[in-house]
Protein backbone atom coordinates (compact mmCIF):
# COMPACT_ATOMS: atom_id res chain seq x y z
CA UNK A 1 0.00 0.00 0.00
CA UNK A 2 1.30 3.38 -0.93
CA UNK A 3 0.76 6.74 0.64
CA UNK A 4 1.56 10.10 -0.87
CA UNK A 5 3.13 12.68 1.37
CA UNK A 6 1.03 15.83 1.26
CA UNK A 7 1.69 19.27 2.53
CA UNK A 8 -1.12 20.20 4.86
CA UNK A 9 -1.38 23.83 3.82
CA UNK A 10 -1.58 22.89 0.18
CA UNK A 11 -4.24 20.36 1.00
CA UNK A 12 -6.31 23.06 2.68
CA UNK A 13 -5.79 25.37 -0.26
CA UNK A 14 -6.82 22.62 -2.64
CA UNK A 15 -9.99 21.94 -0.67
CA UNK A 16 -10.92 25.63 -0.67
CA UNK A 17 -10.28 25.74 -4.43
CA UNK A 18 -12.43 22.67 -5.02
CA UNK A 19 -15.32 24.00 -2.96
CA UNK A 20 -15.08 27.41 -4.66
CA UNK A 21 -15.14 25.75 -8.07
CA UNK A 22 -18.20 23.67 -7.29
CA UNK A 23 -20.13 26.61 -5.81
CA UNK A 24 -19.22 28.89 -8.71
CA UNK A 25 -20.19 26.38 -11.39
CA UNK A 26 -23.38 25.35 -9.58
CA UNK A 27 -24.42 28.99 -9.26
CA UNK A 28 -23.63 29.63 -12.92
CA UNK A 29 -25.35 26.48 -14.15
CA UNK A 30 -28.56 27.50 -12.43
CA UNK A 31 -28.33 31.16 -13.36
CA UNK A 32 -27.98 30.51 -17.08
CA UNK A 33 -31.33 28.71 -17.18
CA UNK A 34 -33.37 28.97 -20.36
CA UNK A 35 -30.81 30.84 -22.39
CA UNK A 36 -28.80 27.62 -22.59
CA UNK A 37 -31.40 25.97 -24.75
CA UNK A 38 -32.00 25.88 -28.45
CA UNK A 39 -32.95 29.23 -29.86
CA UNK A 40 -34.90 28.71 -33.05
CA UNK A 41 -36.30 32.07 -34.06
CA UNK A 42 -35.02 35.54 -33.42
CA UNK A 43 -34.84 38.78 -35.30
CA UNK A 44 -32.40 41.58 -35.83
CA UNK A 45 -32.89 44.97 -34.24
CA UNK A 46 -33.85 47.53 -36.87
CA UNK A 47 -35.02 50.94 -35.72
CA UNK A 48 -36.32 49.51 -32.44
CA UNK A 49 -39.01 51.42 -30.54
CA UNK A 50 -41.12 50.72 -27.47
CA UNK A 51 -44.70 49.62 -28.18
CA UNK A 52 -46.08 51.92 -25.49
CA UNK A 53 -47.09 51.20 -21.93
CA UNK A 54 -48.84 47.87 -21.37
CA UNK A 55 -51.63 49.34 -19.28
CA UNK A 56 -54.92 47.66 -18.41
CA UNK A 57 -56.66 46.13 -21.46
CA UNK A 58 -53.86 46.87 -23.93
CA UNK A 59 -53.58 43.76 -26.08
CA UNK A 60 -50.83 43.14 -28.60
CA UNK A 61 -50.94 40.08 -30.85
CA UNK A 62 -48.37 38.85 -33.27
CA UNK A 63 -49.33 35.99 -35.61
CA UNK A 64 -46.26 33.94 -36.53
CA UNK A 65 -45.40 32.88 -40.04
CA UNK A 66 -45.71 29.11 -39.70
CA UNK A 67 -43.55 28.48 -42.75
CA UNK A 68 -40.61 29.79 -40.78
CA UNK A 69 -41.26 27.12 -38.15
CA UNK A 70 -41.59 24.23 -40.58
CA UNK A 71 -38.14 24.96 -42.02
CA UNK A 72 -36.61 23.93 -38.70
CA UNK A 73 -36.47 20.16 -38.73
CA UNK A 74 -33.73 19.11 -36.37
CA UNK A 75 -35.47 19.55 -33.04
CA UNK A 76 -36.91 16.96 -30.71
CA UNK A 77 -40.72 17.10 -31.31
CA UNK A 78 -41.35 16.53 -27.61
CA UNK A 79 -39.11 19.39 -26.46
CA UNK A 80 -40.94 22.04 -24.45
CA UNK A 81 -41.30 25.48 -26.00
CA UNK A 82 -40.15 28.73 -24.45
CA UNK A 83 -40.66 32.33 -25.44
CA UNK A 84 -38.57 35.40 -24.69
CA UNK A 85 -39.82 38.94 -25.26
CA UNK A 86 -37.58 42.02 -25.08
CA UNK A 87 -39.12 44.15 -22.36
CA UNK A 88 -38.34 47.50 -20.76
CA UNK A 89 -39.32 49.11 -17.48
CA UNK A 90 -38.51 52.75 -18.33
CA UNK A 91 -35.04 52.99 -16.89
CA UNK A 92 -35.75 50.92 -13.76
CA UNK A 93 -38.81 52.94 -12.82
CA UNK A 94 -40.94 51.66 -9.93
CA UNK A 95 -43.81 49.94 -11.75
CA UNK A 96 -46.90 48.15 -10.47
CA UNK A 97 -49.24 45.46 -11.68
CA UNK A 98 -48.77 42.51 -13.98
CA UNK A 99 -48.72 41.57 -17.67
CA UNK A 100 -49.77 38.45 -19.50
CA UNK A 101 -47.22 36.90 -21.83
CA UNK A 102 -48.36 33.91 -23.81
CA UNK A 103 -48.68 31.91 -27.00
CA UNK A 104 -52.05 31.19 -28.56
CA UNK A 105 -51.88 27.96 -30.52
CA UNK A 106 -55.06 27.17 -32.48
CA UNK A 107 -57.05 29.35 -30.07
CA UNK A 108 -55.57 27.52 -27.05
CA UNK A 109 -53.85 30.12 -24.91
CA UNK A 110 -50.77 29.13 -22.92
CA UNK A 111 -49.60 32.01 -20.79
CA UNK A 112 -47.83 33.25 -17.69
CA UNK A 113 -48.90 36.18 -15.55
CA UNK A 114 -45.76 38.16 -14.86
CA UNK A 115 -45.42 40.63 -12.02
CA UNK A 116 -43.82 43.74 -13.56
CA UNK A 117 -41.39 43.92 -10.63
CA UNK A 118 -39.38 41.06 -12.14
CA UNK A 119 -39.13 42.61 -15.60
CA UNK A 120 -35.67 44.01 -16.18
CA UNK A 121 -34.95 47.00 -18.34
CA UNK A 122 -34.05 46.17 -21.95
CA UNK A 123 -33.72 42.46 -21.32
CA UNK A 124 -35.51 39.44 -22.69
CA UNK A 125 -38.04 38.01 -20.29
CA UNK A 126 -38.34 34.27 -20.79
CA UNK A 127 -41.40 32.10 -20.25
CA UNK A 128 -41.36 28.32 -20.37
CA UNK A 129 -44.55 26.46 -21.38
CA UNK A 130 -45.02 23.13 -19.64
CA UNK A 131 -47.95 22.10 -21.87
CA UNK A 132 -46.61 23.17 -25.21
CA UNK A 133 -44.24 21.04 -27.25
CA UNK A 134 -42.41 21.73 -30.47
CA UNK A 135 -44.69 19.31 -32.34
CA UNK A 136 -47.71 21.31 -31.09
CA UNK A 137 -46.34 24.35 -32.87
CA UNK A 138 -45.47 22.46 -36.04
CA UNK A 139 -48.93 20.93 -36.35
CA UNK A 140 -50.80 24.13 -35.52
CA UNK A 141 -52.83 26.16 -38.00
CA UNK A 142 -52.20 29.42 -36.20
CA UNK A 143 -49.71 30.59 -33.59
CA UNK A 144 -49.81 34.04 -32.03
CA UNK A 145 -47.69 35.75 -29.43
CA UNK A 146 -49.93 37.55 -26.95
CA UNK A 147 -48.83 40.44 -24.78
CA UNK A 148 -51.51 41.96 -22.58
CA UNK A 149 -51.58 44.55 -19.85
CA UNK A 150 -53.65 43.23 -16.94
CA UNK A 151 -53.92 45.95 -14.33
CA UNK A 152 -51.13 48.37 -15.19
CA UNK A 153 -51.68 52.11 -15.03
CA UNK A 154 -50.15 54.83 -17.10
CA UNK A 155 -46.94 56.03 -15.47
CA UNK A 156 -46.25 52.72 -13.74
CA UNK A 157 -46.51 50.10 -16.48
CA UNK A 158 -43.81 48.28 -18.43
CA UNK A 159 -43.39 48.06 -22.19
CA UNK A 160 -41.87 45.87 -24.89
CA UNK A 161 -39.57 46.65 -27.80
CA UNK A 162 -40.54 46.33 -31.45
CA UNK A 163 -38.35 46.13 -34.55
CA UNK A 164 -38.77 46.84 -38.22
CA UNK A 165 -37.42 43.38 -39.02
CA UNK A 166 -40.66 41.76 -40.15
CA UNK A 167 -39.23 38.30 -40.90
CA UNK A 168 -41.68 36.66 -38.52
CA UNK A 169 -44.82 38.73 -38.97
CA UNK A 170 -46.49 42.01 -38.07
CA UNK A 171 -47.62 43.17 -34.68
CA UNK A 172 -51.34 43.82 -34.29
CA UNK A 173 -52.67 46.37 -31.86
CA UNK A 174 -56.38 45.78 -32.38
CA UNK A 175 -57.55 46.63 -34.91
CA UNK A 176 -54.38 48.07 -36.49
CA UNK A 177 -51.71 46.08 -38.30
CA UNK A 178 -48.44 47.79 -37.35
CA UNK A 179 -45.30 47.97 -39.52
CA UNK A 180 -43.29 46.53 -36.68
CA UNK A 181 -42.70 43.21 -35.02
CA UNK A 182 -42.16 42.30 -31.39
CA UNK A 183 -38.54 41.56 -30.54
CA UNK A 184 -38.91 37.99 -29.39
CA UNK A 185 -37.05 34.73 -29.16
CA UNK A 186 -38.68 31.39 -29.62
CA UNK A 187 -36.88 28.22 -28.65
CA UNK A 188 -37.14 24.81 -27.12
CA UNK A 189 -35.74 23.33 -23.95
CA UNK A 190 -33.81 20.57 -25.61
CA UNK A 191 -31.42 19.67 -22.84
CA UNK A 192 -30.45 16.08 -23.55
CA UNK A 193 -30.67 13.44 -20.89
CA UNK A 194 -26.90 13.06 -21.18
CA UNK A 195 -26.01 16.67 -20.43
CA UNK A 196 -26.00 16.20 -16.68
CA UNK A 197 -23.75 13.16 -17.09
CA UNK A 198 -21.34 15.16 -19.23
CA UNK A 199 -21.37 17.98 -16.71
CA UNK A 200 -20.58 15.52 -13.94
CA UNK A 201 -17.68 13.97 -15.84
CA UNK A 202 -16.20 17.32 -16.84
CA UNK A 203 -16.56 18.52 -13.28
CA UNK A 204 -14.78 15.43 -11.96
CA UNK A 205 -11.92 15.78 -14.46
CA UNK A 206 -11.52 19.44 -13.58
CA UNK A 207 -11.66 18.93 -9.84
CA UNK A 208 -9.13 16.09 -9.87
CA UNK A 209 -6.85 18.26 -11.98
CA UNK A 210 -7.19 21.18 -9.55
CA UNK A 211 -6.44 18.90 -6.62
CA UNK A 212 -3.29 17.49 -8.21
CA UNK A 213 -2.14 20.85 -9.54
CA UNK A 214 -2.27 22.41 -6.10
CA UNK A 215 -1.16 19.60 -3.85
CA UNK A 216 1.32 17.89 -6.21
CA UNK A 217 2.31 14.75 -4.30
CA UNK A 218 5.94 14.64 -3.25
CA UNK A 219 8.36 12.87 -5.53
CA UNK A 220 9.17 10.20 -2.96
CA UNK A 221 6.58 7.57 -2.35
CA UNK A 222 6.80 5.78 0.97
CA UNK A 223 5.67 2.24 1.45
CA UNK A 224 3.81 1.45 4.63
CA UNK A 225 4.98 -1.59 6.44
Partner 1 sequence: MIRGFSPAILVLSLIFLVKALYLAFFVTPLWDIPDEIGHYSYALDIAEGRGIPKLGTSMIPAQVMEHVTHKSNMEPQGNQIAQHPPLYYILAAVPLKIGMSFTGDPEILFRLPRIIAAISGALLILVLYKTIKLIGLDDYRATLLGAAVGFIPMVSYLSSGTNHDMTLFLFSACGVFFFTRYIVTRHVRDVYLSAVWVTLAGGIKMTVWVIIPPLLLIYALEISGPVKYWFGHMIGVGALMLVSPVIWMSRNYALFADPVYTASTNTCRLLATPLPDTFFDYVRILPVYDNLLLHFYGLIGGIGSGGGIVKAFVIAGAPRAFFSLFLLVVALLLIVSLVQMLHKILCVPSESDGMVPFRFKVNEWFNRGSVRKGYFLFLLLLALISGSLIYLESHPATQFFGWFRIFFAVAIVVLGLTSILVLPFELKADNYIFLYSLIVFLFFSCILLSQLYGIYVNEGRFGAIHGRYFYPVLPFLVMAVSVSVQRLYINKLSLVLLVFLLVLMEMESFIIQALPFYEGGV
Binding site for partner 1 (CB under 8 A): 4, 13, 17, 20-21, 24-25, 28-29, 32, 35-40, 42, 72, 74-75, 190-192, 194-195, 198-199, 201-203, 205-206, 208-210, 212-217, 219, 221
Pick the closer one to partner 1 by CB: 20 or 78: 20
- What's the closest the beta carbon of residue 185 comes to partner 1, in angstroms? 9
Q: Where are the alpha helices (DSSP H) in the chain?
A: 8-32, 66-70, 134-138, 195-215
CA–CA dist 112, 60 (Å, integer): 15
C-beta of residue 164 within 8 angstroms of C-beta of residue 46: yes
- What's the closest the beta carbon of residue 119 comes to partner 1, in angstroms? 22
Angle at 142 between CA 138 and CA 147, to 5 degrees: 110
- What's the closest the beta carbon of residue 194 comes to partner 1, in angstroms? 7
- What's the closest the beta carbon of residue 156 comes to partner 1, in angstroms? 34
Q: Which residue, 69, 87, 51, 38, is CA-closest to 143?
A: 69
Pick the closer one to partner 1 by CB: 8 or 219: 219
Pick the closer one to partner 1 by CB: 120 or 195: 195
Pick the closer one to partner 1 by CB: 95 or 163: 163
State the number of CA atoms in the 13 A half-sphere of 122 facing the CB: 6
Q: Which residue, 42, 8, 75, is CA-closest to 183?
A: 42
- What's the closest the beta carbon of residue 220 comes to partner 1, in angstroms? 10
Pick the closer one to partner 1 by CB: 42 or 170: 42
Residue-level length of the chain: 225
Amino acid sequence: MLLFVWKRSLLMFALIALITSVIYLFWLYNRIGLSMDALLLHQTRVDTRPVGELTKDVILRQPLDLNSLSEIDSQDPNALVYLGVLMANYNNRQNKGSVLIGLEVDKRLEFNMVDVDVIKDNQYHYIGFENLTWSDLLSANSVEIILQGVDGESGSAVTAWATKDLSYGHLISDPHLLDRSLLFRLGVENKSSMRDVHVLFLLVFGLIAIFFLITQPARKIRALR
